[in-house]
């Protein structure tokens, strides 16, 4: 039996995942967490075979939570789930130690396969992500400007590009507007962009938003 910890701040999504997985004969959801801190605590006190971890969390970015879980439990496979398209966070997640990445749109059809694969010690990547990786290799891999950003800077860029105001970004990231302003200034400097409009244009051209 594969035991699973589901980490998502939306109760309906946790319920949906639990229903799919509990209907699968070799899987059981034995833990649910609604934020990153709770997930880290639960992984300390109980044993799980796989963690399903959402990227957008109310308290900490999912990739930060992933890094902490990998530090505490190096052998525990973490499968990232996100509403964001794969080109936004998949490579970043895999570099941070994720065993796999699924967008929530594809999750119901691919979820069981992905969990079995990572539980057996393998990596899971979708055919879409595999194609992106192959394209990158055939073109000669070159690090794009947004890949030089920290996770917080990158998150700020994506939220800016989706049309959110400074205060909305601060709320989404559970940070002060002042801190978000620092991240915005840093990402503009790193990417050699003059203003928000150029950052939004860059994000659209590089398919960082839906």
pLDDT tens digits for range 153-201: 988 998 998 889 999 999 988 889 999 999 999 999 988 888 988 998 8
Q: What is the CATH classification number for the domain harbouring 152?
A: 1.10.10.10
Q: What is the CATH classification number for the domain harbouring 87?
A: 3.40.50.2300
Whole-structure pTM over 0.85, yes or no?
no
Same domain for 126 and 30: yes
Q: Which of 88, 103, 136 is the last residue of a domain?
A: 136
Is 151:63 a contact under the CB 8 Å cutoff?
yes
| Phi, psi angles (nearest 5°) of residue 29 | -80, 110
| Phi, psi angles (nearest 5°) of residue 59 | -105, -40
Same domain for 156 and 69: no
Give the H or E element holding residue 52.
strand 50-54
Same domain for 95 and 191: no
Which domain, by its residues, includes 169?
A: 145-205
Cα separations (Å) of 132 from 1, 90, 127, 157, 193? Answer: 33, 10, 9, 21, 26
Q: Which of 80, 103, 136 is the last residue of a domain?
A: 136
Cβ atoms within 10 Å, residue 183: 22
Same domain for 22 and 55: yes
d(CA 61, CA 150): 12
Residue reference for tokens 């699924």: 102
Q: For residue 141, what pLDDT is reported?
A: 46
Same domain for 118 and 26: yes
Comparing C-alpha atoms, which of 106, 59, 60, 67 is closest to residue 83?
106
Q: Which of 89, 116, 136 is the last residue of a domain?
A: 136
Residue at 210 is within a domain = no
Low-confidence ranges of the chain (pLDDT < 70): 84-88, 107, 132-144, 210
d(CA 114, CA 112): 5
Q: For residue 202, what pLDDT is reported?
A: 87
Residue at 84 is within a domain = yes
Comparing C-alpha atoms, which of 144, 101, 99 is closest to residue 122?
99
């Amino acid at each position: 039996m594969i035991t699973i910890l589901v980490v998502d701040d939306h109760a309906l999504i946790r319920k949906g995942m639990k229903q799919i997985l509990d209907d699968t004969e070799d899987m059981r959801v034995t833990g649910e967490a609604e934020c990153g801190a709770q997930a880290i605590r639960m992984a300390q006190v109980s044993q799980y075979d796989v963690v399903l971890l959402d990227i957008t969390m109310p308290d900490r970015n999912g990739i930060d939570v992933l890094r902490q879980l990998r530090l505490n439990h190096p052998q525990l496979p973490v499968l990232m789930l996100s509403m964001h398209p794969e080109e936004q966070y998949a490579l970043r997640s895999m570099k941070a130690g994720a065993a796999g990445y699924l967008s929530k749109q594809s999750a119901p059809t691919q979820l069981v396969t992905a969990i079995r694969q990572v539980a057996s010690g393998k990596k899971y990547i979708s055919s879409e992500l595999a194609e992106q990786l192959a394209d990158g290799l055939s073109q000669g891999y070159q690090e794009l400007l947004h890949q030089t950003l920290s996770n917080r800077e990158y998150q700020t860029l994506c939220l800016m590009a989706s049309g959110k105001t400074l205060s909305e970004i601060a709320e989404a990231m559970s940070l002060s507007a002042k801190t978000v302003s620092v991240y915005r200034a840093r990402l503009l400097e790193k990417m050699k962009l003059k203003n928000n409009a150029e950052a939004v244009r860059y994000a659209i051209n590089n398919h960082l938003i839906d």
